[in-house]
Amino acid sequence: MKDLKYYLKKAKEEKWAIPQFNFSTIEQLKAIINVSYKLKTPVILGTSEGEANYLGMEEIVSLVKISKNKYKIPLFLNLDHGKNLDLIKKAIFLGYDSVHFDGSSLSLIENIKITKELIKIAHKKNILVEGEIGSIKGESQLSSKKIKILKQDLTSVSDVEKFVKETKVDSLAVSIGNIHGVYKKMPKLDLKLLKDIKKISKNFLVLHGGSGIENKEIKKVIREGIVKINFNTEIRIIWKNSLRKYLKNKNEFKPYKILNLVQNDIEKKLEEKVYLLNSNNKL
Ligand code: G3H
Ligand code: ZN
């Protein structure tokens, strides 16, 4: 079976993007697997540190491996926003396909140093490393608050230049006005900045905070070279709202009958995103 690098390269050449869907429950995982199978799309299954710790990294790796072989579909695992170096190394050791090192709160020098160290370990096992330059604000939740992005939060092109030259990182997460979560007023994406980053960086460019961004904006960033887009909040919102709705049926006690309905609702949302990213029929 082809590896993640193959699909990222293909997406780059053909101008579409691979979705990263985060999950922390079995019905979310089953929904992602079903959609990958049904729409013939590669998918990246994202687990943040919290999500990975909740389900258990060993369990996650086994479940994904079994499903990948059972359905013969390109499912890839990514540790999302890894900050704890022991956990990142554990993900590499257990066989995640990629790890995202979030060094956005560190100085550029420190970010470069740690990213390089991780690349050394990861590349020995053919595992990709995603770095991050700039600070992506917000949390993966629905909020009635407004969020303000300052100039210093955005990716600096000169930092990118130094970072990619020194680290030779595989993928790069950028801050171009994207935020985590769905907030009252969603900021606009800075396409000019993305174009400038692309001139400098030949790496696979990643957009975090896919939830709540207008479809036409998503299409534009894909045209400008984004090849991976992360979604979490919109999946969490469907999970919570559907669960609440189906639990109202006082006569149903079988978890699998309730969670199956939740799963179906999640699948509809994921399908929408796959068509938006145009990653269907790409196997
Ligand atoms: O790393 C995860 C993503 O960036 C999720 O962002 O919750 O806004 O979809 P989101
Ligand atoms: Zn993110």
Protein residue whose Cα sits closest to atom 10 of ligand 1: 209
Q: CA 44 to CA 132: how far, in whole Å?
A: 17
Task: Give 238 Cα–ligand 1 centroid separation in angstroms.
Answer: 14
Q: Are strands 128-133 and 171-174 parallel, antiparallel or unpaired?
A: parallel
- Joined together, the tokens standing for residue 250 give 């006082």
What pLDDT is recorded for position 226?
Answer: 98
What pLDDT is recorded for position 187?
Answer: 87
Using CA atoms of 245, 250, 252, 255 in order, give the dihedral in degrees to the nearest 10.
60
Task: Give 184 Cα–ligand 1 centroid separation in angstroms.
Answer: 16
Report residue 182 CA to chain centroid gap. 16
Q: Are strands 204-207 and 171-174 parallel, antiparallel or unpaired?
A: parallel
Q: Considering only CA atoms, which of 252, 283, 238 is closest in space to residue 21?
A: 238
DSSP 95: T
Protein residue whose Cα sits closest to atom 6 of ligand 1: 209
H helix or E strand, kind and range, residue 96: none
Q: Are strands 43-48 and 18-22 parallel, antiparallel or unpaired?
A: parallel
Q: Determine the 3-state secondary structure of 67 from DSSP.
A: helix
Active site residue 80: yes
What pLDDT is recorded for position 62?
Answer: 98
Q: Terminal CA-to-CA distance of the chain, rounded, Å?
A: 10
- Ligand of minimum distance to the alpha carbon of 44: 1
Task: Give 10 Cα–ligand 1 centroid separation in angstroms.
Answer: 23
Specify burial of residue 7 (Cβ count, 10 A radius: 0-12, 13-18, 19+): buried
Q: CA 152 to CA 215: how far, in whole Å?
A: 26
Tell me how crowded residue 282 is: count the other CB atoms within 10 A of its CB: 18
Secondary structure E strands in the chain: 18-22, 43-48, 75-82, 98-101, 128-133, 138-142, 171-174, 180-182, 204-207, 226-231
Tell me how crowded residue 255 is: count the other CB atoms within 10 A of its CB: 9
Q: Determine the 3-state secondary structure of 230 from DSSP.
A: strand
Q: How many residues does the chain have?
A: 283
For ligand 1, whether the C-beta of 282 sits within 6 Å is no
- Ligand of minimum distance to the alpha carbon of 183: 1
Q: What is the pLDDT along the chain (283 residues), one digit of tens a residue?
A: 999 999 999 999 999 999 999 999 999 999 999 999 999 999 999 999 999 999 999 999 999 999 999 999 999 999 999 999 999 999 999 999 999 999 999 999 999 999 999 999 999 999 999 999 999 999 999 999 999 999 999 999 999 999 999 999 999 999 999 999 999 999 899 999 999 999 999 999 999 999 999 999 999 999 999 999 999 999 999 999 999 999 999 999 999 999 999 999 999 999 999 999 999 999 9
What pLDDT is recorded for position 253?
Answer: 98
Q: CA 12 to CA 18: how far, in whole Å?
A: 10
Q: CA 277 to CA 269: how far, in whole Å?
A: 13
For residue 110, give every residue at least 6 positions away whose Cβ sits within 8 Å of its Cβ, in sequence order, or none.
Answer: 103
pTM value is 0.98
Q: CA 272 to CA 102: how far, in whole Å?
A: 28
